Structure 1
Amino acid sequence: MLSRRTVLAGSAALLAGPARAESPPLRFGVIADPQYADAPPNLAMGRYYANSLDKLAAAIEVLNAEDLRFVVTLGDVIDRDFASYERILPLYRKLRHETRFVLGNHDFEVDAAHLGQAVGRLGMPGPYYDFAVQGVRFVVLDGNDVSLFAPPQGDPRWQLAQERLAAAKAAGLPNAKPWNGSLGAAQMAWLERVLAAAQGAGERVVVLNHYPVLPDNPHNLWDSNALVARLARSPQVVAYFNGHNHAGNYGEAHGIHFVNFCGMVDTPDTSAFAVVDITGDRLDIRGYGREPSRALPLRAA
């Protein structure tokens, strides 16, 4: 059984900036890829599925001791089987904070009868949605929208996914993998409206998705370049948070910080999660376990 002490042992201290009295920080928790399953570990991939229950329980104990506005999980709550939600979601209900979810590819590793039920099971308002906290608009994207696993066969998005993957393979792209996905036209149109509204309201924007888009990586969205280009045109976008690549990653472009959080499911007993502070012109990430801490300057909205 993992303890709070075990989880804390691998943490790095928060990189603190100068005190600012004008407003309290916006503080929230981040978890990526618990990927729970009642299954033996995959030693070749370093995935310890069943151990995520103890890791998540220990992380929740730490997060409950913090003054947070919410805790978001960046996809892959489960690894497989719809019944896996029955074991892991009761742990989330022990959080004293508002809980937000993002859909990951493994959340669709279920039988056909349950394929469209992840949104409801996780209590999400929709596969993609947005919410505002303390002047920051959080935009939750669904990178599974056009994929080989989320839409049922025969759905136009499933056919489009076949075409997009074939085109990516023909172009020799490193992310031309069947476990990735992309955004559909309706979601992109919705994103345009949300970004325009955030700019009109003077809100900063943090984008949350399961899939990375930058730096180049085999785990990136198929349409990562198009999405980065669109976000770059909105000066209020300051950060993009994701999971999926369990090793973690970081990149910066157009004044936007692209932070890939490490997967909780990896390793037998070392966890990975974070507490994020947004204060004035700073974004501070206090990492626990395998998650590194970062101090990142924010551009003006």
Structure 2
Amino acid sequence: MDDKPNPEALSDSSERLFSFGIIADVQYADLEDGFNFQGTRRRYYRHSLLHLQGAIEDWNNESSTPCCVLQLGDIIDGYNAQFNASEKSLELVMDTFKRLKVPVHHTWGNHEFYNFSREYLTHSKLNTKFLEDQIVHHPETMPSEDYYAYHFVPFPKFRFILLDGYDLSVLGVDQSSPKYEQCMKILREHNPNTELNSPQGELFL
């Protein structure tokens, strides 16, 4: 006798507890279409804003409104830095997010650090730590001010944890700082590529 549960039966009888939206790699830039680092995938830099607008419209029109949206990084493309358009592009994308009726939790990807320093991001609209659950930290586990990570509970018994994936990184860090030297040492020890930011071997710091 097969005692395995029937997923369809479960979905028919189960009540949805809550929902949330996810979007990643918007990578907006006011540029014509291009390609990724390897030249294998097309990038629709300018058109990406339309996709974001469409996603926001869908979330706003859901019969059961999502509790929040998770923006998983690379909100604008690194090319913006080459054209001194980082702040302008970020402002345009953030203005688009204002149309959303629910909170947005932002994480930082490599393209955020191609455009901005960690200090800039810490004081920018991409810092959504104010949405975290307020808890008392033990003095020994108190995170540093520039460590971007937090957690929150969107629904009882569900906890979301946003981690700082670039805490140890040469991106967005003052090159004269001890942390930069530490990260560069790790890169040189473990990354055989001449171009340290090459995806060959997939070690990113």
| TM-score normalised to structure 1 length | 0.49
Taking the TM superposition and a 5 Å limit, the aligned residue runs for 1:51-66 are: 51-66=47-62
Q: Secondary structure at the match of 1:72?
A: strand
1:20 Cα shift?
Answer: 4.3
Residues 1:167 and 2:172 are matched in the alignment: no
1:106 Cα shift?
Answer: 0.6
Distance 1:74 1:169, change over 3 A: same
Q: 1:74 aligns with which of 58, 72, 75?
A: 72
1:178 Cα shift?
Answer: 2.4
Residues 1:124 and 2:124 are matched in the alignment: no
1:115 Cα shift?
Answer: 5.0
Deviation track 1:266-298 (CA, whole Å, cap 9, x = no partner) reads: xxxxxxxxxxxxxxxxxxxxxxxxxxxxxxxxx
Runs of 4+ aligned structure 1 residues displaced above 4 Å come to 217-222
Q: Kindly indicate whether the alpha-carbon contact (under 8 Å) linking 2:71 and 2:106 is maintained by their aligned counterparts in 1.
A: yes
1:18 Cα shift?
Answer: 2.4
1:56 Cα shift?
Answer: 0.5
Match of 2:95 in 1: 90
Residues 1:35 and 2:17 are matched in the alignment: no
Q: Kindly indicate whether the alpha-carbon contact (under 8 Å) linking 2:197 and 2:204 is maintained by their aligned counterparts in 1.
A: no
Identify, as 1 or 2, the structure richer in strand: 1
Match of 1:145 in 2: 167
| Structure 2 runs not aligned, ≥5 long | 1-6, 81-85, 130-146
The alignment yields a C-alpha RMSD, in angstroms, of 2.7
State the distance in 2 between where 1:18 and 1:136 align: 19
State the distance in 2 between where 1:52 and 1:165 align: 32
Q: Kindly indicate whether the alpha-carbon contact (under 8 Å) linking 1:127 and 1:142 is maintained by their aligned counterparts in 2.
A: yes
| Structure 1 runs not aligned, ≥5 long | 1-14, 181-216, 223-301
Identify, as 1 or 2, the structure richer in helix: 2
State the distance in 2 between where 1:19 and 1:177 align: 51
1:101 Cα shift?
Answer: 0.5
Taking the TM superposition and a 5 Å limit, the aligned residue runs for 1:271-290 are: none
State the distance in 1 between where 2:110 and 2:29 align: 14
Deviation track 1:66-125 (CA, whole Å, cap 9, x = no partner) reads: 2211001100111132221111111111011111110011112226xx652223222422
Q: Kindly indicate whether the alpha-carbon contact (under 8 Å) linking 1:74 and 1:102 is maintained by their aligned counterparts in 2.
A: yes
State the distance in 2 between where 1:156 and 1:76 align: 26
Residues 1:178 and 2:176 are matched in the alignment: no
Percent sequence identity is 28
1:177 Cα shift?
Answer: 5.0
Q: Secondary structure at the match of 2:151?
A: strand
1:25 Cα shift?
Answer: 2.2
Q: Greater relative contact order (Cα 8 A, min sep 6): structure 1 or 2?
A: 1
Residues 1:102 and 2:84 are matched in the alignment: no
Q: Kindly indicate whether the alpha-carbon contact (under 8 Å) linking 2:107 and 2:126 is maintained by their aligned counterparts in 1.
A: no
Aligned residue-pair number: 165
Distance 1:25 1:143, change over 3 A: same
Output the amino acid matched with 1:52. S
1:133 Cα shift?
Answer: 1.8
Distance 1:221 1:109, change over 3 A: closer
Match of 1:271 in 2: none
